[in-house]
Amino acid sequence: MRLSVIFARALLGELRRRGIDPRELSDTMQLDVSRLKDLSEMLSLEEFEELTSAVSNLTGDSSLGLSVGTSAPAHMMQIFGGLLLSQHTLRDAFGVVLRYGDLLGQGFRWSLQESDGLATLACEPDVRSSGAVHIAVECMLIMATRAVFRFVPGATPQVQLSHATPSQDDALRYQALVRCPIAFDRGVNALTLPSHQLDVRQIYGDSTTGVSLRHMADRLLGEHQEKFGLTQRLDAMLRLNQTLSGVAATTVARQFGMSVQTLRRNLKREGVQLRSALDMARYRMACDELRRPESTVAATASRLGFSEPAAFHRAFRRWTGHTPVEFVRLQDPIPKATTKASPYALARHRRRG
């Protein structure tokens, strides 16, 4: 998982807004700030976690994603933000999110669903237990609500977060700053609003600017894919497999035409551990399989390559904090704005390399 330097810039901007000199970070972390000048640069999850931890310590802010999302200027999102705001409708703007979301971060799956008159823009991170990922998701969804109000001044969005419910004081602060209802302890991170608001045309739409920015976004996306190409190829290969029972380091390396040692070394340059990638693929497939009504725990364990269901139970509990049976019981469709979702504890997936 990687995150754009856009977020690092926003965090440093938050420090300046509070009168804190960003140079105070230099004593506590190793990040080379010169990397932040390059918009094609991405930070590894470990680097972003180090940065968010340092900024949190300096500010004492327990809701850093909220603070950055509500206070960061619109131009913080650079090309991505300009392209999004140049669209004529929210539907088009959400299409930008789906197409160019990798410019913000790799390892976040965006989706737009419509059902019963309700539209839901959801963001599912591959790693759910990281505090830094929570901050990034929270920031992106809060920025998205700001865009909603720009496109549709009378919009009625709601935000759903997978975080545990914060203290009463923090919850009130969330509500006051975001200007729309926020629900915690949900199984998703999502923004919902009535579907018809997707097609309200905003007066600031600019097709000419949009075309120019789209070309720039395509070029930047291509740079990302070239720079982190092996990671994306590996992810795509694992996602396309119908079963992971025969997938191991040797078989993956053979498909890429290199030795296991070379594959590990090349992935390490992109900030990825092979074992973590394989583990994450099994985690994703396990969740997808268990959400299917006809699936069974035994069949899922077999498809994932576990020798026995007990081993799968142990791995699944390590990934999510739940047994497979508990996970199935907790599955509900994305809740509507007028319903209360079942609580869903934060997954405790750990990257292991």
Rounded average pLDDT over 23-47: 73
Identify whether residues 95 and 39 lie together within a single domain.
yes
Q: Comparing 132 with 154, which gets the higher pLDDT? A: 154
Identify whether residues 181 and 268 lie together within a single domain.
no
DSSP per residue over 62-125, as a string?
S-HHHHHHHHS-GGGGHHHHHHHHTSSBHHHHHHHHHHHGGGTEETEEEEEEEETTEEEEEEEE
Give yes or no for residue 87 having a pLDDT over 90. Answer: yes
Q: How many residues does the chain have?
A: 353
Q: Identify whether the C-beta of residue 195 lies closer than 8 Å to the C-beta of residue 118.
A: yes
Q: State residue 333's pLDDT score.
A: 43
> Position of tokens 């809701």?
63
Q: Which of 47-61, 119-133, 151-165 has the highest mean pLDDT?
A: 151-165
Cα 137 to Cα 128: distance, rounded to the nearest angstrom:
10
Q: Comparing 221 with 335, which gets the higher pLDDT? A: 221
Q: What is the pLDDT of residues 280-305, one digit of tens each?
A: 778 888 888 888 888 888 888 888 88
Q: What is the pLDDT of residues 172-215, one digit of tens each?
A: 777 777 778 888 877 788 999 999 999 999 888 888 988 998 89
Q: What is residue 159's DSSP assignment? A: E
Cα 307 to Cα 68: distance, rounded to the nearest angstrom:
46
Residue percentage of the chain with pLDDT more than 70: 85
Angle between helices 64-71 and 168-178 (to 10 degrees): 20
Identify whether residues 95 and 207 lie together within a single domain.
yes
Q: How confident is the model at residue 120 (pLDDT cuts 50, 70, 90)?
A: very high
Give yes or no for residue 347 having a pLDDT over 60. Answer: no
Identify whether residues 258 and 157 lie together within a single domain.
no
Number of domains in the chain: 2
pTM as predicted: 0.63
Q: What is residue 200's DSSP assignment? A: P
Q: What is the pLDDT of residues 232-261, one digit of tens each?
A: 667 766 766 666 766 778 888 887 778 888
Q: Which domain holds residue 307?
A: 229-330
Give yes or no for residue 32 having a pLDDT over 50. Answer: yes
Identify whether residues 18 and 87 lie together within a single domain.
yes
Encoded tokens for 159: 């935000």
Rounded average pLDDT over 338-352: 31
Q: How many helices (H) and strands (E) does the chain have?
A: 15, 8
Identify whether residues 103 and 164 lie together within a single domain.
yes
Give yes or no for residue 75 having a pLDDT over 80. Answer: no
With a CB cutoff of 8 Å and minimum separation 6, the contacts of 126 are 1, 107, 108, 109, 280, 284
Identify whether residues 154 and 15 lie together within a single domain.
yes
* Domain CATH code at residue 254: 1.10.10.60
Rounded average pLDDT over 67-85: 81
